[in-house]
Amino acid sequence: MSSEFLTIYWRDMLRFVRFRIALVASLVQPALWMALYGAAMSSNFYRLSFGTSVPHDAVAVSYLTFMGAGVIALTTLFTSLFGGITLLFDKNWGLMRELLASPMPRNHIILGIGLSGVTKSFIQVMVIMGFGLLIGVRFFPGYSPAQTLGAILGILLFVGIFSIGFLFLSSAISMSMETPEGLQAVITLLTLPLFFASNALYPIDAFPPAVRILSQFNPLTHLVNGVRYFAVGSDFYAIGIHYTYGVSDILQSLLALSAFAAVMFLVAWQVFKRAVVT
């Protein structure tokens, strides 16, 4: 049973490694986003917030660091939403027909694709954090080596749950689509509200009330909360706003992401059970 599951996983990972252009682009793009957009906006926000007093005991955080956590979340979102496109290619090339006709349980296909997507997200997150530290992002301020290791594991936990939830969603959409163009249109439609109604690149305090409510149900917002809690701390000051995170806030975000992943697995499972590929 495990060999069938691992076969799907290794097949997708080998495809990821062998397509060198896609591999390099997936690693370089978020680094460039952080370097160019982050550096430019950081200087602007510094001018706007210059002279403001930092609350006592709060860690002063630059916008580059603030958005660094957001770039980790955004990269995970984009990677996960496009992760299911391999299933669409398998459908178009006739490989999915063979997989569905085999004795292998269909949930192994879902889980294999999900685990490979999570692995890709982990690789990208580590690259982003390493590059961010090189260009001046202050992740893990004042952390001991043990605290840094624990924080990295906490980030990977949030990234993993978020990623697998959106990979299940992407897999369900891919099995329902017939062309890559249709899949890209649906993913673009999903990406825009998730991206703009989140706290990835800017605070949500100034959002209109309706958008602020939507942001509270946005999985991307919960991922960013977790990443910032572990990468920056529970009490920091950035772009004129004092941020505090309690353990209950992070547990709430973790539970929200876990519930989202569970619901998306059930959706993908129902789609795969009814799937008929000719």
Beta-carbon contacts of residue 238 (< 8 Å; ≥ 6 apart) = 60, 61, 62, 63, 65, 66
Residue 207 near residue 215 (C-beta atoms within 8 A): yes
The phi and psi torsions of 244 (rounded to 5 degrees) equal -135, 135
* Calculated CA dihedral for residues 80, 85, 91, 95, nearest 10 degrees: -80
Return the bridge partners of 238, or none: 61, 241
pLDDT score, position 101: 67
pLDDT score, position 278: 56
pLDDT score, position 193: 87
Both structure tokens of 77: 């979102």
pLDDT score, position 100: 66
Q: Give the Cα separation of 141 and 231 in Å (integer).
A: 8
Alpha carbon distances (Å) from 31 to 24, 123, 133, 191: 11, 13, 11, 20
pLDDT score, position 277: 59
Number of domains present in the structure of the chain: 1
DSSP annotation of 248 reads H
pLDDT score, position 4: 67
**What is the reported pTM?**
0.87
pLDDT score, position 154: 96
Helix (H, G, I), strand (E, B) or coil at 243: strand
Residue 125 near residue 21 (C-beta atoms within 8 A): no
Other beta carbons within 10 angstroms of residue 193's beta carbon come to: 14
The phi and psi torsions of 186 (rounded to 5 degrees) equal -65, -45
Q: Give the Cα separation of 259 and 254 in Å (integer).
A: 9
Residue 124 near residue 26 (C-beta atoms within 8 A): yes
pLDDT, tens digit only, all 278 positions of the chain: 456 667 778 877 887 777 767 667 767 777 777 777 766 666 666 555 555 666 667 788 888 888 888 888 988 998 888 877 777 777 766 666 666 666 677 777 778 888 888 998 898 898 888 888 888 888 998 899 999 999 999 999 999 999 999 999 988 888 777 777 777 888 888 888 898 889 888 888 878 888 888 899 999 999 999 999 999 989 888 877 888 899 999 999 999 999 999 999 999 888 877 766 55
Its domain, for residue 146, covers 2-274
Q: Give the Cα separation of 5 and 125 in Å (integer).
A: 24
